[in-house]
Homo-oligomer: A and B are copies of this chain.
Amino acid sequence: MSKATETLGRRLRLGVIGGGPSSFIGKVHRSAATIHEEFDVVAGVFSSDPERSLQAGHAMGIPRPYGDANALFAGEDRCKEPIDALAIMTPNNSHFDLSVRALEAGFHVFCEKPLTTSQEHAISLVQKVRQSGKRYCVAYAYTGFAMVRQARAMVAAGELGEIKMVQSNYTQGHLATLTESEQTGKNWHMDTSLAGPSLILGDIGTHSYHLAAYVTGMEPSSISADVTALVDGRNADDFCAVMMRYPNRARGMLWVTQAAAGGVHGLSLTLFGTKGGIEWHQEQPNELVVRPLGKPAYTLTKGGAGLAKPAQRLSHIAIGHPEGYREAFANLYLDFASNITDDIAKRTPDPLSLWNPSIEEGAQGMAFIYAALNSRDNNGQWTPVPNLTD
């Protein structure tokens, strides 16, 4: 059943900007939005070249393709049944402007990370979202996995006691050598004017940092970081190591790279609290290993016994049938749709749908990036992570 259809008598309408035919993330967004029958993708811009954008939109069967963002905002403004929400998956330096315009147009926003390319923009966007009264979801996709929600629920319920140690790794291998696109300047991720100050921190460091914060509910008070390029001839950072200290004296470590030759994905989170630990690997996302103090370790499984409500509700398919990355993304869109539907229907939002990643969490990703670079530039000095969301 579709909550939107049941409540509003129609599916929600989504526009997208970015994610052309050669982009895997574009298709992930579009299919994730529709899996739970909450959204139809009805409008979009699919290329910075207007002609190619229109062509691509037609080839995808999108009802209202546009040539560029201006056309989209203008066209939807004129439309009788305009989009309810805009999903943004363009290069990082455009996130701020597009978000602001979308909010001003009255659209809810689903935006890729990193949120912006500067702290100032992040601070400003937090304010604008709050003023707009619109929903804003940041695409920290890994938080859509049922077992990540389970981990967060267990920490929140005190099942691990007080958290004492956090280890968050993300060791991809796809940039283990100089790529053609970076040598020819065609990979915008490598261009700091488009991607922001640090490739590794923006691309996946924010994921790793956010995952730790999302599950533990804790932000470090200070960090000591080493950020560098390990591949010879590369200018963009492809490695960071971070030590973290939390207000409660807990300790954390991040190890994040895209230059792990032979590495597959390597996203994992390990926590230890006073009552036990947990371990999650994105490559086997439907399992969560729990290590209670003084008892045997056990494995929680999506759809299986012993799950908390936040994980049960995202176990869509029967136990043993894996749900993957696309479905994690779909869960964010499911929450996003739930929030929008409740807003339209003027209802109290479902509390568990508020577990999708917020504008504030997007902003703290920017705080992390800048704190890590500051520490690196100061010989590893312990550096505070500011709160950008007060």
Q: Could you list which residues of chain A lie within 8 angstroms of chain B, going by C-beta atoms? A: 1-2, 4-6, 10-11, 21, 24, 27-28, 30-31, 34-37, 40, 56, 58-61, 160-161, 164-165, 167, 169, 171-174, 176-177, 224, 226, 228, 230, 239, 241, 243, 245, 249-251, 253, 255, 257, 259-267, 270, 272-277, 282-286, 290-301, 304-306, 316-327, 379-382
Known contacts A30-B37, A298-B298, A381-B379: A250-B230 contact under CB 8 Å: yes
Q: In the complex, what distance in Å separates the CA atom of A106 from the CA atom of B273? A: 50
Partner of A323, one of B165, B276, B297, B324: B324
Q: Flag if A272 contacts B294 (CB, 8 Å).
A: no
Q: Flag if B317 contacts A325 (CB, 8 Å).
A: yes
Task: Output the residue of A56, A264, A285, A301 with the most chain B CB within 10 A.
Answer: A264
Q: Flag if A171 contacts B230 (CB, 8 Å).
A: no
Q: Flag if B297 contacts A273 (CB, 8 Å).
A: no
What are 19 sample pairs from A and B whose C-beta atoms fall under 8 A apart? A1-B21, A1-B60, A5-B58, A27-B37, A31-B36, A37-B61, A164-B230, A165-B260, A176-B293, A228-B251, A239-B251, A241-B253, A257-B272, A261-B273, A264-B291, A264-B319, A283-B320, A290-B296, A297-B301
Q: Smallest distance from the beta carbon of A260 to chain B beta carbons, Å?
A: 5
Q: In the complex, what distance in Å separates the CA atom of A200 from the CA atom of B282? A: 30
Partner of A251, one of B27, B241, B261, B262: B241
Task: Output the residue of A21, A28, A30, A325 with the most chain B CB within 10 A.
Answer: A325
Q: Flag if A60 contacts B261 (CB, 8 Å).
A: no
Known contacts A27-B316, A382-B379: A261-B177 contact under CB 8 Å: no
Q: Smallest distance from the beta carbon of A24 to chain B beta carbons, Å?
A: 6
5 additional A-B residue pairs with CB within 8 Å, beyond A27-B316, A261-B276: A5-B61, A27-B36, A224-B380, A262-B291, A298-B298
Q: In the complex, what distance in Å separates the CA atom of A326 from the CA atom of B253? A: 32
Q: Flag if A253 contacts B251 (CB, 8 Å).
A: no
Q: In the complex, what distance in Å separates the CA atom of A31 from the CA atom of B33? A: 11
Known contacts A257-B165, A286-B283: A296-B301 contact under CB 8 Å: yes
Task: Output the residue of A267, A299, A381 with the most chain B CB within 10 A.
Answer: A299
Q: In the complex, what distance in Å separates the CA atom of A250 from the CA atom of B228? A: 10
Q: In the complex, what distance in Å separates the CA atom of A380 from the CA atom of B327? A: 41
Q: In the complex, what distance in Å separates the CA atom of A222 from the CA atom of B275? A: 35
Closest B residue to A227 by CB, please name it: B251
Q: In the complex, what distance in Å separates the CA atom of A248 from the CA atom of B272? A: 34
Q: Which residues of B sit under 8 angstroms from A5, Cβ to Cβ?
A: 58-61
Q: Smallest distance from the beta carbon of A294 to chain B beta carbons, Å?
A: 5
Partner of A322, one of B58, B239, B324: B324
Q: Flag if A322 contacts B325 (CB, 8 Å).
A: yes
Q: Flag if A296 contacts B293 (CB, 8 Å).
A: no
Q: Flag if A272 contacts B260 (CB, 8 Å).
A: yes
Q: Smallest distance from the beta carbon of A282 to chain B beta carbons, Å?
A: 7
Q: Which residues of B sit under 8 angstroms from A249, Cβ to Cβ?
A: 228, 230
